[in-house]
Chain A
Amino acid sequence: MISKEEVLKLAELARLKVSDAEVGQLQKDISSILDYVGQLAQQPGLTTTQRDSAGSSEEEASRAAKPHNVMRADTPRAAGDMLAGKEEALRAAFPTREGSYNVVRTIIQKDE
């Protein structure tokens, strides 16, 4: 079972506040899920390079289209055209607003 400290570390990494009461339950739940999904590690045939190996030609032929990059058309667009007319709706969603500005917390602080 994963430890209380591990749960608290995960919560910190994930930026989630969890209550003390919740930690015990999370230890139990996350451990049982990890036990289940951990069965993959016991599969000797599953090697992480497998996806690069070529299958039979029949398999290859039937396999879905190969990954390829999708680019949008390289055509100029007027600045801000995706947002045109939506500025006020976007501002209205700000949690704290001053005029047209979204008020956010000071990030850089002086060392005392």
Chain B
Amino acid sequence: MKLNELTITDASKKLASGEITSVQLTQACLDAIAARNTELNAYLEVFDDALAQAAAADARRKAGENHPLLGTPLAIKDNILIEGRRASAASKMLENYVATYDATVIKKLKEAGAVFLGRTNMDEFAMGGSNENSAFGAVKNPHDSSRVPGGSSGGSAAAVAAHLCLGALGTDTGGSVREPAAFCGVVGMKPTYGGISRSGIMAMAASLNQCGVLAKTAEDAELLFNTIAGLDALDSQTFDAGVYPKRAAQKKIGVPRALLAQGIDADVLERFEASLKKFQSQGYTLVDVDIPSAPLALAAYYIIMPAEASTDLARYDGVRYGLSLKAGDLVGDYAATRGAGFGQEVRRRIMLGTYVLSSGYYDAYYAKALAARAQLRAEYAKALTGVDVIAMPTTTSPAPKLGEKSEPLAMYLLDIFTVTANITGNPALSVPMGTVEREGKQLPVGLQFTAAHGDETGLFAAAKSL
């Protein structure tokens, strides 16, 4: 087995015992990147000091440090700030932007001794479900390069799946970690809202957006999560351990049968049922749960998200940093800069957000979406009282072809099962549940678990038993 194909947990043991060094491990990832990144376009930039970071980690180990992530090579999504390095959110707007400070998650990973291999491609400003909205070219799915990797953390998911890193960070506003994880056959996890600090992560719909982790196993994902999670004075949405009550495991899995009745590919549903059987054989009981408002989640999401994004992205005006174009007067400068700097999907969402927040439309759209949100939160809380987690397929089908979802609405429908956890703030995770065949290729599909607020322990416990 090549070193880059190791899990974080296995590599960590080998690093601790002195069997391998971080320099060797990092070199193995760099070799894999050299072999495949031209085809996959997963990394926008590979840091030229990766081996130097690895050597520094090896030196720290020699000096007696032993964090499980010490010397682990990771990939970082391009909307997470690392001081002194470019962070573009895959947008022309920030093409040459250099971060002036570390995101809290980066600070914690540096303290742990992780190695940053590079920054990964994504949908521009994390808006998209296929990674085709990057200003710097689409990412390809490592399992079939005619297909998308999912998005918006498509570069991170493809990099983990193709062993171009051992693990990665992404962000998840409506499924942007879980959906690409499902399409690429890796584990992707979004925490409880406020579970991980967002200081230094570019805002996109602040009431929905969270940092998430991608890894080859649930165990690795848990290790990454535990390293970066927790209260942070720089993000007032983060919370103390005592905020949510501790839950005892009931060994019960909720299945929202009504949601599975239509719209899911037959073989995806077969994989799902087979996974449920596996849980039963391990002593789990399956319980039917009802979430009557679930069909409203996507509509609520595509009101709340663009509304918030239209305000979050108002800061990109060309005055203090980023692209700056001149066009006669100040308002002209703004319009020229934002018209040229933002890609088509970003402009569309900003305008949609502007529309739903407009005087006269607010009650019909935004207020209704908030009401649906409250209803969904209550229904999920109720459904989760009797079970540890709720299970469903992460997506209705495997990864689509590049260019297949050209209509915006068709693209949005890829998120139909993932947006709910962002609407309600529950932690959720996608774990591989096997493959389905399309045109002679085996394509991965994912199973999504949703747990109660603050119950990441229950979420990982369920994922680890699959």
Which A residues are closer than 8 A to B by beta carbons? 2, 7, 10-18, 22, 26, 29-30, 32-34, 36-41, 43, 45-48, 50-51, 55, 58-59, 62-65, 70, 72-73, 86, 89-90, 92-96, 102, 104-105, 107
Contacts and interface: CB of A to CB of B under 8 A. Distances in A.
Contacts of B319: 95, 102, 104
B236 interface: yes
Interface string B317-352: 111111110010111011110111010100110111
A17 B385 contact: no
23 contacts: A14-B350, A14-B353, A15-B338, A16-B350, A17-B339, A29-B407, A33-B409, A34-B355, A36-B412, A37-B303, A38-B364, A46-B371, A48-B367, A48-B368, A63-B377, A64-B381, A72-B233, A89-B84, A89-B98, A93-B97, A94-B320, A95-B318, A102-B320
Contact of B453 (A16, A65, A89): A65
Interface in B383-438: 384-385, 407-409, 412, 425
Interface in B43-80: none
B348 A14 contact: no
A50 B408 CA distance: 31
Contacts of B334: 15
Per DSSP, chain B at the interface is helix
B100 A43 contact: no
A64 B100 contact: no
Given A37-B303, A50-B374, A90-B100, A70 B236 contact: yes
Contacts of A65: 239, 243-244, 453-454
Contact of A40 (B296, B324, B347): B296
A94 B323 CA distance: 10
Contacts of B344: 22
A86 B138 CA distance: 34
Contacts of B243: 65
B12 to A, nearest CB: 33
B325 to A, nearest CB: 9
Nearest to B237: A70
Nearest to B306: A33
A54 B237 CA distance: 24
B102 to A, nearest CB: 11
Interface of B: 84, 97-98, 100-101, 233, 236-237, 239, 243-244, 296, 298-300, 302-303, 310, 314, 317-324, 327, 329-331, 333-336, 338-340, 342, 344, 347-348, 350-356, 358, 363-365, 367-375, 377-378, 381-382, 384-385, 407-409, 412, 425, 452-454
B330 A40 contact: no
A64 to B, nearest CB: 4
The 5 closest A-B pairs by CB, nearest first: A17-B339, A95-B324, A51-B374, A93-B321, A64-B453
B331 A41 contact: no
A54 B59 CA distance: 58
B303 A40 contact: yes
Contacts of A107: 330
A36 B409 contact: yes
A59 B330 contact: no
A14 B310 contact: yes
Contacts of B322: 93, 95
A66 B381 CA distance: 13
Contacts of B452: 62, 64
Given A16-B338, A32-B407, 18 more contacts: A16-B335, A16-B339, A17-B335, A26-B351, A30-B348, A36-B302, A36-B409, A40-B303, A40-B365, A46-B371, A55-B382, A63-B378, A64-B381, A65-B243, A70-B236, A72-B233, A86-B100, A89-B84
Nearest to A41: B364
